[in-house]
A = this chain, B = another copy of it.
Amino acid sequence: MRDDITDSPDYCSIEIAMEVLGGRWKLAILKQLLSGTQRFGELRRALPRITQRMLTRQLRELEADGLVTRTVYREVPPKVEYSLTEVGRSLDDIAGLLDAWGRWYRGVHAAGPAASQGRTTAAREDRAAV
């Protein structure tokens, strides 16, 4: 399902990036792991809005895509550590930029809520060219 994209270099490469990073929580997880190895519970506490189920899934997908490494310690209670691979670390600047952009965007909406309130398309169509 992924290979038919990777084979066609003429398509926008962002589509490839979104195949890997498009998950709702992927980049947030990567951002957390940029600060170093963390275990499952730490990630869960750092991202309180994510479900256990989703955290597990996204981590497994990230592992399958070669972005994170999963290390299981056979202890009781269980202990599983996650850390970034080289490929995962290569997203450092992108994650930083997205984080900064998110913070800035929140400010834009707080300052000028017109942008977020312009959800009525009708008014805009009225001033359309004739």
Q: Which of A86-130 contact B (CB under 8 A)?
A: 87, 90-91, 93-95, 97-106, 108-110, 115-116, 118-119, 121, 124-125, 128-130
The one of B24, B87, B102, B124 that contacts A108, using a Cβ cutoff of 8 Å: B87
CB of A31 within 8 A of CB of B12, answer: yes
CB of A17 within 8 A of CB of B105, answer: yes
CB of A102 within 8 A of CB of B13, answer: yes
**What are the residues of chain B within 8 A of A124 when measuring CB–CB?**
69-72
Q: Is A52's CB within 8 Å of the partner chain B? A: no
**What are the residues of chain B within 8 A of A46 when measuring CB–CB?**
12
A interface, over-half SS: helix
**What are the residues of chain B within 8 A of A74 when measuring CB–CB?**
128-130
**What are the residues of chain B within 8 A of A65 when measuring CB–CB?**
115-116
CB of A22 within 8 A of CB of B20, answer: no
The one of B6, B99, B130 that contacts A110, using a Cβ cutoff of 8 Å: B6
Selected A-B contacts with CB under 8 Å, 9 pairs: A11-B48, A12-B99, A14-B27, A14-B98, A16-B103, A17-B105, A22-B22, A22-B24, A74-B130
